[in-house]
């Protein structure tokens, strides 16, 4: 059911993308929008992991640079990867006071799992296995690729909407100019980015529920992840990460949204309510 919902939302996002392209420039607008989307998604597919890891100053976790941490984390991930029938992912660590974790990469054979340094002090090994199982489920389900493509389409729609805004100011493009459809362009410029963002976030939330279920199964006890989520939510609320220009684009990758905003954007969450996630996990344990 989760896959059906995700697929339906992705189709809806693509349709919205094509509608915006058509509204701006007719058939030529659709062609431009399609080429633009293909270019963005190609770039996202090949380079999103490198960009994300570099953006957060992640360092590869090996037995040479972090022997004690490696000795603790590697056996957990290796065991979980075997259970999930996955290739062992590359391990990374970010020096941060915000306890969190994320996965990135274009597929199971080109994946990386990253933890922040402070998560090791907050969680015990069982709870850590729940978190890392969650991330490996994202890898197995190719959720990072799905989320990256959804973010690319949403970003492309926002860019096209920005073009529509300027088109409305200067009287429209092509057929819109001749038809004096300035108000239609202005409507598209304002409404479609909001709709695209809502669809993108809905996709992210669906994949989080599925990863929670997978993480619970891989770790062997749903309560491991439930307890971890409760601790992480509190810690991330007290000590959020500093926001950057990539915060909005990468927030969906983390197991808990590490960014807090005082603006209206905080109403648009990349993750389901933590209470519902914990409730579902506790129900699984019964």
Label residue 211 by pLDDT band (50, 70, 90): very high
Q: Answer yes or no: pTM beyond 0.85.
A: no
Average pLDDT over the chain, rounded to whole? 82
Q: Rounded to 5 degrees, what angle do the CA atoms 96, 101, 104 make?
A: 115
Query: Looking at the chain, which runs of residues are DSSP E strands?
Result: 59-60, 90-94, 101-107, 110-116
**How many angstroms separate the Cα of 203 from the Cα of each of 6, 64, 108, 169?**
6, 39, 20, 33
Structure tokens at 267: 């109403």
Give the mean model confidence (pLDDT) for residues 102-128: 94
* Model pLDDT, residue 262: 47
Q: Could you tell me how many helices (H) and strands (E) the chain has, helices first?
A: 10, 4
Question: How confident is the model over 17-30, as pLDDT tens digits?
Answer: 777 776 666 667 66
* Model pLDDT, residue 143: 85
Q: How far apart are CA 144 and CA 49, in angstroms?
A: 9
Number of domains in the chain: 1
Residue 222 pLDDT greater than 90, yes or no: yes
Structure tokens at 40: 């963005």
Nearest to 135 by CA among 184, 188, 86, 71: 86
SS3 content of the chain, % helix, strand, coil (to 5): 70, 10, 20
Answer whether 100's CB lies under 8 Å from 116's CB: yes
Residue 213 pLDDT greater than 90, yes or no: yes
Question: How confident is the model over 138-183, as pLDDT tens digits?
Answer: 999 988 777 777 777 777 777 777 666 655 555 544 444 444 466 6
Choose between 154 and 118: higher pLDDT: 118
Strand ordering across the sheet containing 59-60: 59-60, 90-94, 110-116, 101-107
Choose between 261 and 245: higher pLDDT: 245
Nearest to 270 by CA among 285, 249, 243, 239: 249
Q: How far apart are CA 18 and CA 280, in angstroms?
A: 36
Q: What is the Cα 233 distance to its own chain's centre?
A: 17
Domain enclosing residue 136, as ranges: 2-284
Residue 2 pLDDT greater than 70, yes or no: no
Q: How far apart are CA 214 and CA 227, in angstroms?
A: 16
Residue 192 pLDDT greater than 70, yes or no: yes
Query: 135 catalytic, yes or no?
Result: yes
Please identify which of the residues 60, 127, 135, 279 carries the catalytic annotation: 135
CA dihedral 117, 208, 112, 82 (to 10 degrees): 100
Nearest to 53 by CA among 111, 14, 121, 119: 111
Nearest to 274 by CA among 202, 222, 204, 208: 208
* Residues composing the chain: 286
């Amino acid at each position: 059911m989760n896959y059906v919902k995700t697929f339906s939302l992705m189709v809806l996002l693509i349709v919205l993308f094509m509608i915006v392209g058509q509204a701006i420039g007719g058939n030529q607008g659709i062609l431009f929008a399609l080429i633009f989307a293909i270019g963005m998604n190609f770039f996202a597919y090949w380079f999103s992991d490198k960009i994300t890891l570099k953006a957060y100053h992640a360092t590869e976790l090996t037995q040479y640079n972090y022997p004690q941490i490696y000795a603790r984390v590697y056996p957990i991930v290796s065991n979980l990867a075997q259970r999930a029938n996955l290739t062992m992912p590359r391990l990374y660590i970010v020096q941060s006071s915000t306890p969190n974790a994320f996965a990135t990469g274009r597929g199971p054979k080109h994946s990386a799992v990253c933890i922040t340094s402070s998560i090791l002090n907050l969680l015990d090994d069982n709870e850590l296995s729940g978190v890392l199982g969650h991330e490996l489920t994202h890898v197995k389900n190719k959720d990072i690729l799905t989320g990256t493509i959804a973010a690319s389409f949403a970003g492309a729609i926002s860019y096209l909407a920005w073009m529509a805004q300027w088109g409305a100011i200067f009287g429209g493009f092509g057929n819109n100019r001749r038809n004096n459809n300035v108000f239609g362009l202005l409507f598209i410029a304002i409404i479609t980015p909001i709709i695209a963002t809502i669809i993108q976030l809905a996709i992210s939330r669906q994949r989080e529920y599925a990863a929670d279920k997978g993480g619970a199964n891989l770790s062997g006890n749903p309560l491991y992840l439930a307890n971890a989520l409760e601790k992480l939510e509190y810690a991330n609320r007290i000590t959020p990460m500093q926001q950057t220009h990539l915060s909005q684009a990468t927030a969906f990758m983390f197991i808990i949204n590490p960014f807090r905003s005082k603006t209206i954007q905080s109403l648009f969450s990349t993750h389901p309510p933590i209470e519902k996630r914990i409730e579902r996990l506790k129900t699984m344990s019964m």
